[in-house]
Structure 1
Amino acid sequence: MTKQNIIAKAVKLALFATASVAFSTTAYAAEEGDDEEQQEEQAGVEVITVVGSRLKRNNVEGASPVLIITSDDMKEQGHTTVYDALNDLTINNGIQIEGPEFSNGFTPDIRTLNIRGFGVGNSLTLINGRRVANYPAAYQGSSSAVNFGAIPQAAIERIEVLSGGGSSIYGSDAVAGVINIVLKNDVDETTLNVVYGRPVEAEGDDYRIDLTTGAVSGNGNFTIGISYRQTDPISAGDYDKYDSNDDYPYQDIEPSTLNFDTYVLDRFAGQLVDPGDQCENFGSQRFLYSESLGYLCGRDNIALTNFRNEREQLSVFANGTYNVGETELFGELLYNSSESTVDRYSIFIQDRIYNGSEYYTVLRSFYEEDLQRSLDSFYEDDSFNVSFGARGYIGEHEWEASVYRSQYELESSRVRFKAQEAIDVFFGDFFTYVGSTPVFFGNGSFGLFDNLFAQIDDSNRDLVNSALGVQTYGNETSSTGTQFILRGDLWDMAAGPVSYAAILEYEKQELKFKPDELITQPPVFPYTSGSGWLGLTGYDGEGDRDRVAVGMEMNVPLHETFDLNVAARADKYDKDSSSIGTRVTPSIKYEWRPTDSVLFRGGYSESFRAPDLVQVYSRTGFYTTVTDLYSCWQGLGSPDTFDAVDDCVGTQIFARRLGPGEVGNEPLKDETGDTRWVGFVYDVTDDLTFQVDWQKVTLEDRVSQLSTSSLLFREFECLTDGVTITGSRPSQDLSDINCDQVSNLITRVFNEDTGVDEINSFNVTPRNISEESVETVDARLLYGFDIDYGRFDFQINYSHLLSHKFDGIELRDDPILGGWEPRTKINATAKYTYNDFGMALTMLREGSTTVYDPGHPLVQDGTLSDRVPPHFRYNLTTSYNWSSDFRTRLTIRDLFDNGAPRDRTIGPNAFPWYNNFVYGGAGIGREVYLEATYRF
């Protein structure tokens, strides 16, 4: 899409947003309301609703721990996007595999949260209390996720974060937390905001222009805004410390290594075929990979690695209300459109081939300068969230009715090799098949490599390009629903009224993966991926889900110091998308205020997550090497005992991942769990507040994809009786899968030549087979005091991981299985203000994590610790109000340019030589932003 199209969209959407607000402010004569809320406001008491409850109250701190981030907080802490602010939450301690540094991954253009390390799909995201559509591509190929990169910072009034389960209020997905994005409203001025920034060491400009306006009257209000952002790409080559493989920082342990560019591996000999002088033909260098393997060709491609993708983003938001008698009409809109480019400098072919006597694995990379064409990937996504409704009073009971629609569309394109054309160009005539591996006959030892390893020039460039094409996806997700809420007081007790909130809700979710024709065409190779793109499995599938829910929440003041809150919700799902039926989730929680300055709180809340629509409806597959236990056992003569490691060799198969219902297995159940918590809040003085909360979140029947090796082990148990296998044990307990179900997943055909039953088709499906629990302590300190020349304010947020268990294994202390979750995380801000001047310094500390490679020899012999030290970042902001209408701000992100912690177990090929699963974006370093805000 061109920039002119972006601007045209801006005009159209501004008109649509204006129409939306006009709809909610239809000209009717207004009457003064004298409802309960107005009476309370006149009495000086502000009543609010905060995430985690649908009841209105006059205290932000309640029975559930809630963190509120305002738009000013985000700016003061140096956050330039909504994602930055949420990513630095202390409760967001799980790894995320996404972003520019994962440009070859499934979802390089998404920004997600992984609260408590439970996974990106286990926290619920709302906009003004209503659900949003998921990102239309499968996160890491297997689940759904919300893209926080599609929510503009300019539209945010505040973000409310519930730490813990909330299914008794919101239903599915509210397992590890709930994020409620509250849009700006009640704006009575016009504001122009301009932001410009760039890294200190690179030339990647980042600028944003926001325009917001609105009006407030006795009849209602409206707010409308537009935000445009342009972000330039950043590459590793922009930095002296990342522009060459010679910059590898641990050369005292292991010398730097070129990136693999071209090689031929003799699989039987276990050695690389020496390329001799051929490396020069493709602009590469011949280098020794290892004494045991030999030589290959390589290039120094470090400088071409992405640190930030190019992006252009347009957002429009609107919010409005209008009073018609005693009824208030309202409407809300948030629209986002973005285009991004993922820089890809090369494309490669890697395959296993056979020359009539020996197997070889071959690799050849083709570069943009060789092909004289762009190999970049492009992503264009459009999303909108719109709702309309009305609210008012029936007697003393407040009601609200609304309808909403959230939709997300994604179009992506990427250059790939077409399967049949690549075979014709590079491998010659196709002869026959062995399992899923194509077999080729060449002319002489290396005749068959002539095309694959030919130098690219004017004589053959068109031939190579003829094997390339543009692979596309056009995915869609949506969420459409309606809500009716009724709340008020039921009766009076000695300590106060019993308040309630009831909800009736309907929602329909839809998912559609729309791959191009080459992905869905009949397979080029029988029993393989079913895709016309070489080496690409692809995704397809579509489906929907209907849900009806009813819920009730009550607050009972048992004593003037003690309130009990009880809630329950029933969600009924359609029969096609899952086997849930109706899921009831209750909760009970309490608030005890023995004094005005002390709050003790706690509770128990059940939670659940409905089966992910990606796992229910999508189809894909992957190549893998497995130990075929049954055919190995047959080939050994069916002994009573055999060793799976010493007696068997690996077999390459193509495993299809299908929905459970497609292979006759049971449909997925919902994942169910609970949250238990206790804590206290102590207002030591008017300026000093301290709070601590302990929490444990559990989830049973977690969905995991079946392990291929575990499934083969279960199949062996079904097909044999009393045979003992040594040397290997399954990683999953699949004893609950009966033998008929196993036979639906694995089919075999008898090979008369070998006398064994070989695998004909292999299917894996998601299953409810795991359990997980996380136990944490969160603490917060707020302190402020005045001095003669201004005021100091301090805020410290701290989270400590006490335990993280998965299927009974304590991941927190396991250097191998535990991954890289930090045990602690701190977000602390010190702020100073004096008249029109303000300054804030924010420290972001991630605790120690497991080293990148716990199996490294230096770790195994005790020379190195199995953990890396904590990671510190600092953001500094200064602001000045030049007048009541004009303000400027300077932001320096990563003030001291600390970079990621050094980890000497990272090898030379693991660029950017830090753990980017944990410290994504650390390579960009110090950034400086200037912001100017003017109110008309």
Structure 2
Amino acid sequence: MTKQNIIAKAVKLALFATASVAFSATAYAAEEDNDDEQQEEAKVDTVTVVGSRLKRNHVEGASPVLIITGDDMKKQGHTTVFDALNDLTINNGIQIEGPEFSGGFTPDIRTLNIRGFGVGNSLTLINGRRVANYPAAYQGSSSAVNFGAIPQAAIERIEVLSGGGSSIYGSDAVAGVVNIVLKENVDETTVNVIYGRPVEAEGNDYRVDLTTGTVTENGNFTVGVSYRKTDPISAGDYDKYDSNDDYPYADIESPTLNFDTYVLDRNSFTLVDPGNQCENFGSERFLYSESLGYMCGRDNIALTNFRNEREQLSVFANGTYDLGDVELFGELLYNSSESSVDRYSIFIQERIFNVNNGDYYTVLRSFYESDLQRSLDSKFEDNSYNASFGARGYFGDHEWETSVYRSEYELESSRVRFKAQEAIDVFFGDFLGYAGATPVFQGNGTFGLWDNLFAQVDDSNRDLVNSALGTQTYGNETSSTGAQFMLRGDLWDMEAGPVSYAAVLEYEKQELKFKPDELITQTPPFPYTSGSGWLGLTGYDGQGDRTRTALGMEMNIPFHETFDLNIAARADKYDKDSSSIGTRVTPSVKFEWRPADNFLFRGGYSESFRAPDLVQVYSRTGFYTTVTDLYSCWQSLGEPGTFDAIDECTGTQIFARRLGPGEVGNEPLKDETGDTRWAGFVYDITDDLTFQLDWQKVTLEDRVAQLSSSSLLFREFECLTNGSVQVTGSRPSQDLSDISCDQVSNLITRVYNPDDDVDEINSFNVTPRNISEESVESLDARLMYGFDIDYGRFDFVVNYSHLLSHEFDGVELRDDPILGGWEPRSNINATAAYSYNDFGVALTMLRRGSTTVYDPGHPLVLDGTLSDRVPPHFRYNLTTSYNWTSDFRTRLTIRDLFDNGAPRDRTIDANSFPWYNNFVYGGAGIGREVYLEATYVF
């Protein structure tokens, strides 16, 4: 989609919105002329909040729910929905994404990782209905919702349930549920203009929002359009990141250039000295290390992405229309986005066998945009929509609602890559065969890597190099289509009040389609490029769907005027092809005890589950890896009764295919099952001061994980030797003892090699399998305090989350410096606000607790010189606003007020730019940002 196209869409959608509002206003006006004297009975105000389908007159209920309004987001300095969710204290998991990791599978996605359970283990709803997942597999292995596709301008509020909710919503509601509630009942027109930029960079951020609507006695209609344009930001925009010489830990390790060309002799494991050849193509020779030697490199730190270029158009609309006994309603959220990941170079790398002396080498050569005189940027275009339509009314005193919905997400991505066959012709020469697992090439004397690795790209050979390049594309689609019928009301009266209920019947069909280009799925030109016509890319493909029907029931029983018991159960039935679930029943029981008007004690137990991820069920991909082939090593050693896998075996490079379980005759995936237990209280200490504390433990069994290559080989060795041989020096990371030997033989096949008298691996397949167990125990606290003074009002809100335990397969990860990863033990989000008449100011502190150092195996950590943890990270956002008139207001937002950056971590080496852990502190390099916002209402 071109820029002109996206602007044209904006114009058309704006005209459509205007026409829709005009039509709706006319219809409503006509309806007002009808003389309808029917009076409705006055009803107590009730609300429905995520975690229950029952209406209630208390915001705080049996389950802890955090509500973030659109005004809260602005007050706290958040400019996107993702910012607000990312800074939740319960979002303490790692998210491998973002522009600083632009080489990943999904650099353009924005996800949530509640409690560190993984991005796919929380359920996302829009107005209570499911949405389609991002079409690309998150990091190549799972599904996730993209919060970057939800515009902030459309948000009325966000409701976040922490913990399991499968008894109400079904699959995926394991670690939590996020319900996005769109704006409604708008009876004015608002234009909002936002401009922002970093203080030290030129990357502008523009946003224009238009929201309008009408409200009448018979209904309402709201529509909005949001357009956003974000300029790219590079490390070179900052003085502290524009050169390799800016490496902040030079007292430990000298800064080095980024290597772009080298020859590694794999026999001696030393670099072949390039001499003065680096100058041929604009690089320079430098000493990589005393042990390895010299290579060619450049100072190209400044070219690294800190933020991607992005252009986004969103449209949202919803409305209701009262026909008398029945009210119609409909909702729409549409998003279209174009983004670009700046890639300044592309490299080619391979192992080359020298037929002249019998040695083999690893060679690498980088080519830059300036060399090739072409753009190497990656492009992403995605379009999504969520639409629903329904009706609601009453059967006597019982409220009913029926609706249908469709959510669809399409993604087209493109990236410049080397084509396998052409790259072989241009760079590698003749393919001769194999030396063990190493491909053997003999240079063709034209521009082969082996013959002329250091040749300059100029007018004489530029076309030749470019002829080996092509544009690799994906066109992926996901969708969710469903229907829902709900009935709720009161069953009978008890002394303490009525017994209320809600029943729901649902149907849903989910679809997944990965559409790679033809080179990914074609027959490979040579065996070493298995699965792809693109050099070094195996890609992924596959498609499939699944259907489910569900029946759920929820009841609230007031046993006493101070004590309510809520029980719920839901049965989800899945088709037979997508999994082995069949029907999964998930119950829950929870309570509210209010011994005093100002005190609520709550708790409960809820079972949860996650159906097998469609990516894991239907997608196919592959990867190259080096493994220890225990069986062939054991054969080559003469089949001893015991041997040491480390000392006596060498690594073998293999191509492993990752397939769905059904493709290799293994058992279909089961669902991941678990439960949530919680207890807590809410105490209104005074009219102005409230404190709440909740303990929670979430457990998930039968977690799906991809089979480890080394563990699978270990299990195969047990099968082939009947467990009679002892292997030392190597133990499997996964316990695969429950996999039968027949199943193993479906995954690994061998052929006899008469030259070496061993059975070599012929094909190697891995597949996802239910093999793990995980649990997280945590405490969440919240303090709210507000009071008036003579000249205004102060409000304070503090949120705190503390990780008590995180176990995975019996290993405590919380305090483990290696297996525990980088999860913080605690997070704090605190806001102090002051308002007086038309003026308001708020300061928000975002504290991310201490984490494990980037490299816990660093020598300075091992010898005790450095701690294995980095200190907490503090960020501050400041916002000020002023209402100049009743119709016009402005806001100034300063994000990262003190430009704190990411915590210093001395274990990060000179080659790990941007010299902070960008998986934990993504975006920290951008630093202080200033936003100006003007809002006019008419």
| TM-score bucket (shorter structure) | over 0.9
Structure 1 residues 870 and 280, CA gap change in structure 2 (3 angstroms): same
Is this contact kept in 1: 2:205–2:231, CA < 8 A?
yes
> 1:431 offset after TM fit, Å?
1.9
Q: 1:39 aligns with which of 24, 36, 42?
A: 42
Aligned to 1:156: 155
> 1:589 offset after TM fit, Å?
0.1
Is this contact kept in 2: 1:588–1:605, CA < 8 A?
yes
Q: 2:928 aligns with which of 926, 929, 933?
A: 926
Map residues 697-712 of structure 1 onto 2, 5 A cutoff: 697-712=698-713
Structure 1 residues 883 and 892, CA gap change in structure 2 (3 angstroms): same
* Letter of the structure 1 residue corresponding to residue 471 of structure 2: V
Question: Deviations along 1:214-237, whole A, 9 cap, x unmatched?
Answer: 000001000000000000000000
Aligned to 2:606: 605
Map residues 205-284 of structure 1 onto 2, 5 A cutoff: 205-284=204-283
User: Which 10-residue stretch deviates more, 354-363 or 874-883?
Assistant: 354-363
Aligned to 1:815: 817
Is this contact kept in 1: 2:529–2:535, CA < 8 A?
no
Is this contact kept in 2: 1:491–1:497, CA < 8 A?
yes
> 1:17 offset after TM fit, Å?
5.4
* Letter of the structure 1 residue corresponding to residue 499 of structure 2: V
Aligned to 1:865: 867
Q: TM-score, normalised by structure 2?
A: 0.98
CA–CA distance in 2 between the matches of 1:415 and 1:564?
Answer: 59
Aligned to 1:416: 417
> 1:282 offset after TM fit, Å?
1.6
CA–CA distance in 1 between the matches of 2:405 and 2:160?
Answer: 22
CA–CA distance in 2 between the matches of 1:76 and 1:619?
Answer: 45
CA–CA distance in 2 between the matches of 1:303 and 1:93?
Answer: 30
> 1:7 offset after TM fit, Å?
2.0
Aligned to 2:54: 55
> 1:494 offset after TM fit, Å?
0.2
Is this contact kept in 2: 1:772–1:806, CA < 8 A?
yes
Is this contact kept in 1: 2:531–2:622, CA < 8 A?
no
> 1:2 offset after TM fit, Å?
2.2
> 1:201 offset after TM fit, Å?
0.2
Is this contact kept in 2: 1:849–1:867, CA < 8 A?
yes
Q: Return 5+ residue gaps in structure 2 as ranges.
A: none
Aligned to 1:7: 7
> 1:840 offset after TM fit, Å?
0.1
* Letter of the structure 2 residue corresponding to residue 732 of structure 1: Q
User: Which 10-residue stretch deviates more, 771-780 or 23-32?
Assistant: 23-32
Could you say what secondary structure the match of 2:657 adopts? strand
CA–CA distance in 2 between the matches of 1:34 and 1:482?
Answer: 32
Aligned to 2:84: 85
Paired residues in the alignment total 930
Could you say what secondary structure the match of 1:86 adopts? helix
Map residues 775-790 of structure 1 onto 2, 5 A cutoff: 775-790=777-792
Map residues 276-315 of structure 1 onto 2, 5 A cutoff: 276-315=275-314
> 1:527 offset after TM fit, Å?
6.0
CA–CA distance in 2 between the matches of 1:893 and 1:32?
Answer: 54
CA–CA distance in 2 between the matches of 1:14 and 1:505?
Answer: 34
CA–CA distance in 2 between the matches of 1:442 and 1:481?
Answer: 58
Q: Does 1:910 align with 2:912?
A: yes
> 1:764 offset after TM fit, Å?
0.2
Map residues 576-591 of structure 1 onto 2, 5 A cutoff: 576-591=577-592
Structure 1 residues 206 and 764, CA gap change in structure 2 (3 angstroms): same
Structure 1 residues 148 and 33, CA gap change in structure 2 (3 angstroms): farther
* Letter of the structure 1 residue corresponding to residue 279 of structure 2: E
Structure 1 residues 30 and 265, CA gap change in structure 2 (3 angstroms): farther
Structure 1 residues 571 and 438, CA gap change in structure 2 (3 angstroms): same
CA–CA distance in 2 between the matches of 1:926 and 1:61?
Answer: 36
* Letter of the structure 1 residue corresponding to residue 169 of structure 2: Y
> 1:434 offset after TM fit, Å?
4.3
> 1:33 offset after TM fit, Å?
6.4
Question: Deviations along 1:648-675, whole A, 9 cap, x unmatched?
Answer: 0000000000000000000000000000
Is this contact kept in 2: 1:31–1:324, CA < 8 A?
no
Is this contact kept in 1: 2:427–2:447, CA < 8 A?
no
Is this contact kept in 1: 2:363–2:449, CA < 8 A?
no
Question: Deviations along 1:161-206, whole A, 9 cap, x unmatched?
Answer: 0011000000000000000000000000000000000000000000
Q: Return 5+ residue gaps in structure 1 as ranges.
A: none
Is this contact kept in 2: 1:264–1:272, CA < 8 A?
yes
Is this contact kept in 1: 2:631–2:717, CA < 8 A?
yes
Question: Deviations along 1:695-741, whole A, 9 cap, x unmatched?
Answer: 00000000000000000000000000311101111110000000000
> 1:342 offset after TM fit, Å?
0.3
Is this contact kept in 2: 1:30–1:323, CA < 8 A?
no
CA–CA distance in 2 between the matches of 1:104 and 1:215?
Answer: 46
User: Which 10-residue stretch deviates more, 435-444 or 285-294?
Assistant: 435-444
Structure 1 residues 816 and 33, CA gap change in structure 2 (3 angstroms): farther
Could you say what secondary structure the match of 2:533 adopts? coil
Aligned to 2:674: 673
Is this contact kept in 2: 1:643–1:726, CA < 8 A?
yes
Q: Does 1:656 align with 2:657?
A: yes
Is this contact kept in 1: 2:270–2:292, CA < 8 A?
yes
User: Which 10-residue stretch deviates more, 666-675 or 528-537?
Assistant: 528-537
Question: Deviations along 1:751-789, whole A, 9 cap, x unmatched?
Answer: 011100000000000000000000000000000111110
Question: Deviations along 1:535-578, whole A, 9 cap, x unmatched?
Answer: 00101000001010000000000000000000000000000000
> 1:3 offset after TM fit, Å?
2.2
Structure 1 residues 445 and 540, CA gap change in structure 2 (3 angstroms): closer
CA–CA distance in 2 between the matches of 1:813 and 1:18?
Answer: 57
Could you say what secondary structure the match of 2:442 adopts? coil
Is this contact kept in 2: 1:355–1:445, CA < 8 A?
no
Question: Deviations along 1:480-514, whole A, 9 cap, x unmatched?
Answer: 00000000000000000000000000000000000
Is this contact kept in 1: 2:426–2:448, CA < 8 A?
no
> 1:525 offset after TM fit, Å?
2.1
* Letter of the structure 2 residue corresponding to residue 285 of structure 1: E
Could you say what secondary structure the match of 2:294 adopts? strand
Aligned to 2:742: 740
Q: TM-score, normalised by structure 1?
A: 0.98
Is this contact kept in 2: 1:805–1:811, CA < 8 A?
yes
Could you say what secondary structure the match of 2:333 adopts? strand
> 1:438 offset after TM fit, Å?
2.2
Could you say what secondary structure the match of 2:302 adopts? helix
Is this contact kept in 1: 2:419–2:535, CA < 8 A?
yes
> 1:426 offset after TM fit, Å?
0.6
CA–CA distance in 2 between the matches of 1:387 and 1:254?
Answer: 58
> 1:450 offset after TM fit, Å?
2.9
* Letter of the structure 2 residue corresponding to residue 10 of structure 1: A
CA–CA distance in 2 between the matches of 1:623 and 1:4?
Answer: 42
Is this contact kept in 2: 1:408–1:478, CA < 8 A?
yes
Aligned to 1:497: 498
Could you say what secondary structure the match of 1:646 adopts? helix
Is this contact kept in 2: 1:229–1:314, CA < 8 A?
yes
Is this contact kept in 1: 2:24–2:221, CA < 8 A?
no
User: Alignment RMSD, CA only?
Assistant: 1.5
CA–CA distance in 2 between the matches of 1:446 and 1:424?
Answer: 9
Map residues 437-476 of structure 1 onto 2, 5 A cutoff: 437-442=438-443, 449-476=450-477
Is this contact kept in 1: 2:564–2:592, CA < 8 A?
yes
CA–CA distance in 2 between the matches of 1:87 and 1:76?
Answer: 16
> 1:12 offset after TM fit, Å?
3.5
Aligned to 1:773: 775
Q: Does 1:561 align with 2:562?
A: yes
Question: Deviations along 1:291-330, whole A, 9 cap, x unmatched?
Answer: 1111101111110000000000000000100000121100
Structure 1 residues 553 and 288, CA gap change in structure 2 (3 angstroms): same
CA–CA distance in 2 between the matches of 1:70 and 1:193?
Answer: 17
Identity of aligned residues (%): 86
User: Which 10-residue stretch deviates more, 663-672 or 280-289?
Assistant: 280-289
Aligned to 2:137: 138
> 1:358 offset after TM fit, Å?
1.2
> 1:32 offset after TM fit, Å?
6.4
Could you say what secondary structure the match of 1:715 adopts? helix
